[in-house]
Structure 1
Amino acid sequence: MFVLLAFLSLVIELALGYPDRLFRAVGHPVAWMGRLIGFLDRTLNRQDWTLRSRRAGGVVALCVLVAVAGGVGWALQSLLGAGAGLLVTALFASSLIAQRSLASHVEAVASALETEGLEAGRRAVSMIVGRDTAVLDEAGVSRAAIESLSENFSDGVVAPAFWLAVFGLPGALAYKAVNTADSMIGHRTPRHAAFGWAAARFDDLVNLPASRLTALLIVAAAWVTGAGSAAKAWSAVQRDAGRHRSPNAGWPEAAMAGALGLALAGPRNYGGVLVDDALMGEGGRREAMAADIRRALRLYRAADAILIALMGVVAGLLFLHG
């Protein structure tokens, strides 16, 4: 049932997204999680505590967050049950997946560069990346958009669908809670270096399977569509993915870089701090442009379609053998 739930949720989200009217009326599950994380941060991350105490507070906060998210998911799933309830569960679970919004935000960067120029492109890409965008040229804006598309395909689409297929709604909600915590408190700032340690490390762990699967999906998409080189994508994954500072982001970024013949990642500025990361797709060109964003989106949509088809096939096989 869980694989079918993941399949239905992917299809629903692709078709409907998360309606603006619903967002204005009740908010979004990620926003609800964010409020809980903020409360835990204020309560368990006291600046006058020792670093050891704050790290312990972060572990407690993570446990509370996962327990609450997983518990709510279990209660909803148990209450709704199978049959028509499965569709309602899938409708709720679809809010944890970001296929439409991801494509929309990245496409907005390409459109801004094409129609309004560099400043508009910088504004558009600043909505989806954390790096300093004011000094980026067109190539930098384009690379940032493609890198964000690659990494968020893993974090925002493949990972929640994967955990939904494995553990149902409790798994997807718990994953999303961990991922949200990492984005809010998992940074190495003075306030969160100790408190956010557990969230950052656990987020690395739960994203391991999805990041590898995402790389394979991008390679497969390049092979199916001809929009990129599947062979170069696979070579880049084998050569470069493990050199990324993140244990996960390098996999989809390297696959996308190799498929498009680009060199992604490398040195970047975050809050005025230079992060000297390894190149993904080493040897590829750095002069990316809006047309490369369009090519990346084509690969993303094909890879997403393969993911949905894969979930559908597995659900069908499990049904036949059930």
Structure 2
Amino acid sequence: VGRDPQQLDSHGVARAAIESTAENFCDGVVAPVFFYVLFGAPGLFIYKAVNTMDSMIGHRTPKYRAFGMTAARLDDVLNLIPARLSGLFICLGAPFAPGGQPWQAIKVMLRDAGKHRSLNAGWPEGAMAGALGLALAGPRRYAQDVARDPWIGHGTAKATAGDIGRALYLYAVACLINAGWVAALAVVRFSLPAAG
């Protein structure tokens, strides 16, 4: 998460957990599968190497700016499609989550994704915020600075442990949707006659 936990109340901890769940759905589930389906094991390996470099050194601090910026920008490029797919899968899973609001998920994702400081994280986070009726992101304190980011979503910022449970449920449903499209691609791919 990267936030200063000493500065978080229980709502801030819940929001951070939900934001991490949404973003990690892209980084840890959809994108690796996407690159594996397209390019096999080398695609998966390259994606995870770039994503890990971004996590470790892709910070805006003077210490990491020169080399870390390259990792961060490359990660942005690689996640352009997977981030949007992640948001879509969360929207598709919203009707099956407790209290899920699919139309709000779509609306908030499309309206607020561009408000996020990350080029890609706003897509799954916006979908999650809308689906659960929450406001995510917003002003928050990190170890080095304070982020005065806008809120994503127009629901309550007072997320609870129950909202974490709903987010995890939605995450699981979205993972099943992700698996479904991969299975459909495999059926199509292996049912086509071989060329030659």
For normalisation by structure 1, the TM-score amounts to 0.59
Q: What letter matches 1:273 in structure 2?
A: D
In the alignment of these two chains, the number of paired residues is 193
Deviations, residues 67-100 of structure 1 (Å, cap 9, x unaligned) = xxxxxxxxxxxxxxxxxxxxxxxxxxxxxxxxxx
Structure 2 contact 115–122 (Cα < 8 Å) conserved: yes
Higher alpha-carbon deviation: 149-158 or 264-273: 264-273
In structure 2, the residue matched to 1:233 is 105
In structure 2, the residue matched to 1:75 is none
In structure 1, the residue matched to 2:50 is 178
In structure 2, the residue matched to 1:136 is 8
Greater Rg over alpha carbons, structure: 1
Structure 2: segments with no counterpart, 5+ residues: none
Deviations, residues 204-230 of structure 1 (Å, cap 9, x unaligned) = 100111100000000000134464100
In structure 1, the residue matched to 2:183 is 312
Deviation of 1:309 after TM superposition, in Å, equals 1.3
Aligned equivalent of 2:65, options 193, 202, 213:
193
Q: What letter matches 2:163 in structure 1?
A: D
Deviation of 1:321 after TM superposition, in Å, equals 1.4
CA distance, structure 2, for counterparts of residue 308 and residue 269 of structure 1 = 36
Runs of 4 or more above 3 Å deviation: 224-227
CA distance, structure 2, for counterparts of residue 272 and residue 313 of structure 1 = 45
In structure 2, the residue matched to 1:150 is 22
Aligned equivalent of 1:287, options 130, 151, 158:
158
Structure 1: segments with no counterpart, 5+ residues: 1-128
RMSD of aligned Cα (Å): 1.1
Deviation of 1:190 after TM superposition, in Å, equals 1.6
1:37-52 pair list within 5 angstroms: none
In structure 1, the residue matched to 2:94 is 222
Q: Name the CA shift for 1:303/1:227 in 2 (closer, same or farther; >3 Å).
A: farther
1:291-306 pair list within 5 angstroms: 291-306=162-177
